[in-house]
Amino acid sequence: MSRHVEIVGGGFAGLVAATAFAQRGWSVRLHERGPQVRAFGAGIFIWQNGIHVMRLIGAYDDMMRNAHEAPRYYARDAEGRLLGTDTFGSQIGCRMLTMTRETLHSAIYAAARRSGVEVRLNSNVISADPSGEVRTEDGGVFRAELVVGADGVNSNVRDSLGLMDYREKTGFGGMRLLIAREPTDSEHIQSFRSTGTRMTHYVPCDPENIYLCFTTSADDAPGCALPFDKKSWGETFPRLRALYSRIGDQGRWDHYETIKLKAWSKGRVAIIGDAAHAMTPSLGQGAGCSMVNALSLAVAASAGPLTEATLARWERDERPLTEHTQDYAQSTTQRGPILGSSGTKWTDDALRAARHVPAAALDVAGAA
């Protein structure tokens, strides 16, 4: 008899989990509260740990059709003077890809549908029960051997189980948007740092798009203003005024926060992704850690009878690296990057998650 899992949330973590469970013989129903499964936001970084996951679930080739692999990373000051540089791959010991969030999301969603995942749209899950049951806003009740809550920072599944331990806004945030890429635009990733709290991150995503991220303290009113304040940011980074002139009214500003739970599971319910371990984006590992933990959950739950001890072991295996990454990301957001010998922030501690090879890499079901 097929084992059954109910998954709440159609973001990166939920879709990876859905795909990985389906590829291991489970029947999978995924609840998406919106009218369609789609990605929100602008660009995204996927490091080697995330690349492993994409290969293992059979989504790597679709992702690579519209991804960018930058040759180098440059750290610069506000005037554009070089502070340090790194070469992705050989120099730092792992690959790193950039792409639009839609590119990554579409690749995983296609893998999920190929694997037989059932998707239930307009299904707003309002609570879960440790017995393995979810309830939806329209009165639906769904039961499973396992429930997976991947419903984001404001997770109804997590909060209905009383699992929140620590949730803190960091005092910093970012505005993220896409602009059209022009033929003369650099293919390298570049970060520009002011003497204050402001940073501009320039990230090629694909042949058509440049991802821009502007980070600053939450009390920097002009820096957080929407639409983007070209005059204020141009005064901080005068050499980027021409780039800023290409920005329209698009974009969103998010206050970064960190979330930690009392436990990642309760009874037959497991929590993954931002619902379990939201982190600041300074290491580009929010999606990577979420995807690794989603895959490892499917592998652990499929190895034998599912018990609370199974979920506890999964958490014990994955949580230390995730929390190291959370803590390091928050420290670099609040205090500024900790610079390595190359003059950039990519120290061994910063790259610990990026270089991680998931245990599931030895389980090649669905690998490309």
From the CB of residue 270, how many other CB atoms can be counted at a distance below 10 Å? 29
Smallest CA-to-CA distance from 272 within 3, 2, 15, 39 is with 15
Question: What is the pLDDT tens value at each position of the chain, 368 positions in all?
Answer: 579 999 999 999 999 999 999 999 999 999 999 999 988 889 999 999 999 999 999 999 999 999 999 999 999 999 999 999 989 887 888 999 999 999 999 999 999 999 999 999 999 999 999 999 999 999 999 999 999 999 999 999 999 999 999 999 999 999 999 999 999 999 999 999 999 999 999 999 999 999 999 999 999 999 999 999 999 999 999 999 999 999 998 888 999 999 999 999 999 999 999 999 999 999 999 999 999 999 999 999 999 999 999 999 999 999 999 999 999 999 887 766 666 666 777 889 999 999 999 987 765 443 33
CA–CA separation, 186 vs 232, rounded Å? 24
- Rounded distance between C-alpha atoms, residue 258 and residue 148, angstroms: 20
The one-letter amino acid at 204: P
pLDDT reported for residue 365:
40
Residue 127 to residue 149: CA distance in whole angstroms = 10
- pTM across the whole model: 0.95
The DSSP bridge pattern shows strands 118-120 and 27-31 to be parallel
CATH, residue 24: 3.50.50.60
Q: How far apart are CA 303 and CA 308, in angstroms?
A: 14
Give domain status of residue 38, yes or no. Answer: yes
* The total number of structural domains that make up the chain: 1
Establish if 153 belongs to a structural domain.
yes
Note whether residue 233 is domain-resident. Answer: no
In a domain, 187, yes or no: no
d(CA 217, CA 255): 9
Residue with tokens 């899992």: 5
Question: Nearest CA to 337 among 349, 325, 345, 329?
Answer: 345
3-state DSSP assignment of residue 169 = strand
Give the pair of three-digit tokens for residue 266. 């309760």
3-class SS of residue 178: strand
List all residues 6 or more positions away from 351 whose beta carbon is below 8 Å from its beta carbon: 47, 92, 93, 94
Q: Please report whether residue 163 resides in a domain.
A: yes
CA 147 to chain centre: 21
Query: Residue 279: what are its φ and ψ, rounded to 5°?
Result: -145, 165
Determine, yes or no, domain membership for 178: no
Is the distance from CB of 267 to CB of 131 less than 8 angstroms? yes
| Distance (Å, whole) CA 66 – CA 205 | 8
* Per-residue tokens: 368: 């490309």
Range of the domain at 311: 4-67+99-168+256-337+355-362
Residue 225 is assigned to a structural domain of this protein: no
Residue with tokens 């690794």: 292
**131 lies in a domain?**
yes
Identity at 276, one-letter amino acid code: A
